[in-house]
Amino acid sequence: MSEGCCRLAGLGFSGFDDNMKPVWQDISNIKVKKIEFSSSQKVMIDNWNIGTNVWLRNHIYVRLLPTTGKSSSRATLITFIVSAFWHGFYPGYYMAFVLTSFGTSAARLLRRNLRPVVLAAAKRSVANDKGTDVESTPIKRIYNVLGWFAGMVIFNVCGCTFVLLDASRSLQAWRALYFTPMIGIAAVILAFQTFKLGRFLPKDSGGAVPAVTIKARSDSGNPAGSSK
């Protein structure tokens, strides 16, 4: 609503596109399509409350990174806790943001370890069928759909506590799901961070994607700093 009010007042105009249609992106705090249809939790968070994300990333997350500048689960957790504190003191806020933090770390680990395997298989499929590209291969489509589904599950499980606010009601909602999302997140972190199962991935996949170096940015970016 606030973004719509700004546009009605003439604020946020950023010029014209190639078809000479007006573009209103200078004041844009949410991109609905990228949230609803993204195959990556990072992209979902990147395009939700963009202005706050940029501030948290540049002023909290980046300052907590190790000297190497590589993504950090500790920096992610602290940044999300700061975001929860900014929202208020209801337990539901902290439950939502702490779970989102661990979910983001788990998504980063999965992407870093599994995406090279999927891309390697997709490229082999393209080599056998010259009429296709990587994105249209069955394995890449399955990967994208599973990524979208997992992201939506975490997004909504965290969102329910954001609405319920009360700790007992939030736990009741999670209990109705048998804490399945939390168990899944813990399993991923244990598998790829604690037990380093990524080292057993096929060697021809190129191995795990190296941790990305994070820098402050002025455009949209989430505190998690997941590798792209």
Domain boundaries, the chain: 1-30, 31-205
Residue-averaged pLDDT of the chain = 86
- Three-state secondary structure call for residue 24: coil
Do 173 and 164 meet the contact criterion of CB atoms below 8 Å apart? yes
As a residue count, the chain comes to 228
| pLDDT score for 226 | 41
Catalytic residue among 29, 49, 58, 144: 49
Please say if the pLDDT value at position 36 is more than 60: yes
In whole angstroms, give the CA distance from residue 92 to residue 88.
Answer: 10
In whole angstroms, give the CA distance from residue 177 to residue 204.
Answer: 38
| pLDDT single digits (tens) 82-114 | 999 999 999 999 999 999 999 999 999 999 999
Catalytic residue among 29, 58, 87, 144: 87
The amino acid that residue 6 corresponds to is C
| pLDDT single digits (tens) 157-176 | 999 999 999 999 999 999 99
Q: pTM above the 0.85 mark?
A: no
Please say if the pLDDT value at position 25 is more than 90: no
Stretch 35-41: mean pLDDT: 89
Residue 87 bears catalytic tag: yes
Residue 113 bears catalytic tag: no
